[in-house]
Amino acid sequence: MPRDVDAPPSRDVVATIRVRRDRFDLMTRIVGATTPDARAELIGVHRRTLNRALKGRPGDKFMAQTVAALRRHSEALGACGLAPTLDELFEVVAA
């Protein structure tokens, strides 16, 4: 991709993705996963991976598996007005 030489120099913008804990906790509670071990099992990850993701380092695999796992419960979540999507469960924040 060609670089625009007339463009002002960009400032380094540092951003990261984090779990929307309130939504994550609510959705996992509704589907019966109320402990860290149950939540890790629901998503299909090790508990350490869950802890790392909840502390601010969710990887793409964790994100995909979380959405997929909760979509299997879309009927129960939908009855509560919730939709397990990337936008609902994760957010981009300045680091």
Give pLDDT tens digits along the chain (95 positions): 555 556 565 677 789 999 999 999 999 999 999 999 999 999 999 999 999 999 988 999 999 999 999 999 999 999 999 999 999 999 999 87
Q: What is the pTM of this model?
A: 0.84
Q: How far apart are CA 8 and CA 18, in angstroms?
A: 30
Could you tell me the residue ranges of all domains in the chain?
15-94
Distance, CA of 47 to chain centre: 15
